[in-house]
Amino acid sequence: MLVSAEETFPKEARTFEPNPPDIPDCLRRALRAFLARRGDGLTVIAGYPWFLDWGRDTLIVCRGLLASGQAEEASLILRTFAALEDCGTLPNMLGADHTGDRDTSDAPLWLAVACEEATAYLGSEFFQAEAGDRTVLEVLTSLGEHLRVGARNGVRMEPTSGLLWSPAHFTWMDTRYPMGTPREGYPVEIQALWIRLLRLLDRLCAPNDGEPWSATAARAEASLDAFWLEDRGWFADVLLAAPGVVPREAVPADHLRPNQLLLVSLGLVTGERAQRAVAACARHLLVPGGLRSLAPLPVSVPLPIPAPWGGLLNDPVLPYQGQYVGDEDTHRKPAYHNGTAWVWQLPLLCEALDLAWNGEPSARTTARAWLGSIAPLLASGCLGQLPEILDGDAPHTPRGCDAQAWSVSEALRVWLLLN
């Protein structure tokens, strides 16, 4: 049953009054600091002081560049990365002189989302823009075709369901050594991004290799029911499955993570399920300035983190770790996606809240209030910037990179959307 946002979220959640410098102007200035030249093209430094340019980070940042009036810069970045597409893959990260690391299932799909949004600012002719020796549309068509039959990095569509299977550690939750969040199988946000690509190719009447894009999209959309956990009131984060295992035989992982919010923010889930999922994420993941990567709740599907020397680095049924401190391999990496709060995910919750309640005034007021909780972060630490992560536990100390590109870009994109 649908309920109003006012009934779902208490009044005090809607009355936060930020006292920042002007937030959008501050975020615009902050975002410019991450743009960098790469040959004749343009790229994005993911974060200071630790990172260079990563595929998914760069393409997500393009959404904020577009929304903030930097369409030409976004166009150059998108065409730079599109030219690097090869057999359904994009670089996970770019080295100084190589693009060989392609262990990512989400970067190619974020390219499609950003290209679709670019047309609102650059016109539909952007799909005919040059990306190396092909057009942007030809690149996106190659992505769809290769992912349906199997990209060369192992990502592939499972034919009966239309869902996309991903190897371990290929999503943004890609911590390795130790394996903190493998997510092998059918990750929920990968399906949201995949369906958006399929819908786009159908609208563009892109050539196909047999089945119409609309038919594949419809089959994948119908398969999203496999993720819904009625007793929990949220979507499974991943259908755990080894290679070749179909979704109906996979294990739905019941741990509550923010990745499911992309189903709502990308327009694939509406109504009661959208509202219940958003409310669950707000209840268990929201902290001032960020969103926990895992809820502090027991799970029925264990989430073990094996130590390289044997044994475990966590409690598999109570996997939440709320502080990103200590030794990197035994404490910080296991916590990185298992309780640590991420600033770039907070705007996603705010956008999903607004959409789940169809812009209802009380929902939008609540979303603005939550997003306004970034104000103290802008005014402390690396002044005028947003950090990468925060402790999931109070007092939610900033950690990781002092300035992170997608934290800034997503905050700016959604701020402009809600105001």
Per-residue confidence of the chain (419 residues) as pLDDT tens digits? Answer: 566 667 666 665 555 444 555 899 999 999 999 999 888 878 899 999 999 889 999 999 999 999 999 999 999 999 999 999 999 999 998 765 666 689 999 999 999 999 999 999 999 999 999 999 999 999 999 999 999 999 999 999 999 999 999 999 999 999 888 889 999 999 999 999 999 999 999 999 999 988 999 999 999 999 999 999 999 999 999 999 999 999 999 999 999 999 999 999 999 999 999 999 999 999 999 999 999 999 999 999 999 999 988 899 999 999 999 999 999 999 999 999 999 999 999 999 999 999 999 999 999 999 999 999 999 999 999 999 999 999 999 999 999 999 999 999 999 999 999 99
User: For the chain, how many residues are written?
Assistant: 419
Residue with tokens 């679709």: 116
- CB count within 10 Å of CB 88 equals 22
Question: Is the sign of the CA dihedral 240, 242, 247, 249 positive or negative?
Answer: negative
Contact 48, 383 (CB under 8 A): no
Residues 272, 275: Cα–Cα separation, whole Å: 5
The reported pTM is 0.94
Here the tokens at position 27 are 């975020």
